[in-house]
Amino acid sequence: MWIIGIILLAIVGLFVFENRTPVTLEFVAWRYDTRLGLAMLAAFVAGAIILYLPGAIAQARLRAHLRSAEARLREMEQQLKTAAEQIPKITYGERE
């Protein structure tokens, strides 16, 4: 996995280095001069974060739901064990 990460980092570095054309980014009253490669890299990182956050939130909710379900399961298993201990044991062939 580390090798893939290093290769991707090298490709991204090469991409940023090759796209050195100056660009001006404007948003409302904000103006920023940068290189094209860095602007595209920033847009990629911002998009990745925006896509990651909803998934992370959903995963946290699912983990909480799983912990709750496991707690309920343990409680029900304990109730079943208690109920089973209260039932008299009957063996095959016994007559009352």
What is this structure's pTM? 0.61
Query: Tokens 């699912």 — which residue?
Result: 62
pLDDT bin (cut points 50, 70, 90) of residue 91 is low
Instruction: State the pLDDT at residue 93.
Output: 63
Q: Does residue 2 lie in a domain region?
A: no
Q: Which domain holds residue 80?
A: 14-85
Q: What is the pLDDT of residues 14-40, one digit of tens each?
A: 888 898 899 999 989 899 999 998 898
Q: Does residue 80 lie in a domain region?
A: yes
Q: Does residue 95 lie in a domain region?
A: no
Q: Does residue 1 lie in a domain region?
A: no
Percent of the chain with pLDDT over 90: 49
pLDDT bin (cut points 50, 70, 90) of residue 86 is confident
Percent helix, strand, coil in the chain, to 5, is 70, 10, 15
Q: Does residue 68 lie in a domain region?
A: yes
Contact 47, 63 (CB under 8 A): no
The residues near 21 (Cβ < 8 Å, ≥ 6 apart) are 35, 36
Q: Does residue 33 lie in a domain region?
A: yes
Q: Does residue 75 lie in a domain region?
A: yes
Instruction: State the pLDDT at residue 95.
Output: 58
SS3 category, 69:
helix
Task: Report the domain count for the chain.
Answer: 1
Q: Does residue 92 lie in a domain region?
A: no
